[in-house]
Chains A and B, each alone.
Chain A
Amino acid sequence: MTPQLDEYVEAEIQRLLAETGSVAEQGITIARREHLIVLGGEVESAQRRDEICRQINQHFPDVEIACDIGIVRAQAPTEVEEIS
């Protein structure tokens, strides 16, 4: 049974992601859909993305997650911007 995904759950998840030592992410967005939450934003590694989902699953086992979190690209630039 999917629990009601209200603002309190959203706020608790947001604080969990910032305050949990193994996560420490403040840039993850949470969008509530009817039966699930959609996670957005970008992190620095796949391990960090997976840990976010693991933490939410552990603390909110009845909440269904769709994870759209990306890994920030780290390639060299090809352009220079002239500042004037």
Chain B
Amino acid sequence: MIRIAAVGDVHVDKDVVGRYRPALEQLPGVADALLIAGDLTRHGTVEEARCMAQEFGDLGVPVVVVLGNHDHQSDQQDAVTGVLQDAGLVVLEGEGTVLELNGHTLGIAGAKGFGGGFAGACASKFGEREMKNFVGTTEAIAERLGAALRGLECDALVALTHYAPVPETLTGEPLEIYPFLGSYLLGQAIDSAPTALALHGHAHHGSERGRTPGGVPVRNVAHPVIKQAYNVYQLLSDEVDAGLVSI
């Protein structure tokens, strides 16, 4: 059994430091790792990244994150990544990592992702250079995510993105902004590997549960969606954790 805690869109700045900590201190007893689905900060500044590192560092379990669009706002994403890595967090962008947990290996491939929309209403690489760049950006990210997923050897494989790979977990958001919330290309990348679970954030008014066309369970763990410090998901079940109620 592997238990994964997950949350996204925590938007940490100095006014949030300390809010998550009491729940995070309980993590070693309830989960084997924490995955964070982007939007770690408000504006992507180094100062905010330090607050994030303070709040989510030294937890006693591995912490694996991807960046979100907010973490790019100040064009300091490399410096933000550096601060988080210095605090021991694993930051993924088109790459993967394997954790050894409870005698099992958990593979996590992560990428921020990007927009473009979904089948029936998706953007195409056609027309203005800006439009081609928009769709091309998502294509490149999705290709790297798929390659990272397919390249991992592990007992359980998890995809971690900020943008959504399916429209189901956007239910509750205005239809008009779906193309800015995710892309089917991310779902296609996830379906190209034996992925056990896909986690994303970004859609604050979305819904928690969905499936890719290939059948992979998708969970929107944006903080305003799950309404608690983190959710816990159990993979490779061989027993139910005694500390938490199974649903």
Contact = CB atoms under 8 A, between A and B. Distances in A.
Nearest to A46: B15
Contacts, number: 93
Q: What bracket does the count of chain A residues touching chain B fall in?
A: 20 to 34
B232 A79 contact: yes
Contact of A72 (B70, B217, B227, B233): B227
B83 to A, nearest CB: 19
B11 A81 contact: no
Interface of B: 3, 10-12, 15-16, 19-20, 22-23, 26, 30, 42-43, 70, 73, 196-197, 204-205, 217, 223-224, 227-235, 237, 240-241, 244-247
Nearest to B3: A80
Chain B interface helix/strand/loop/mixed: loop
Given A24-B43, A73-B228, A42 B204 contact: yes
Contact of B232 (A27, A48, A72, A81): A81
B231 to A, nearest CB: 6
A79 B237 CA distance: 15
Interface string A34-60: 000000011011011000000000000
Given A77-B229, A81-B234, A29 B205 contact: yes
A41 B223 CA distance: 12
Contacts of A41: 204-205, 224
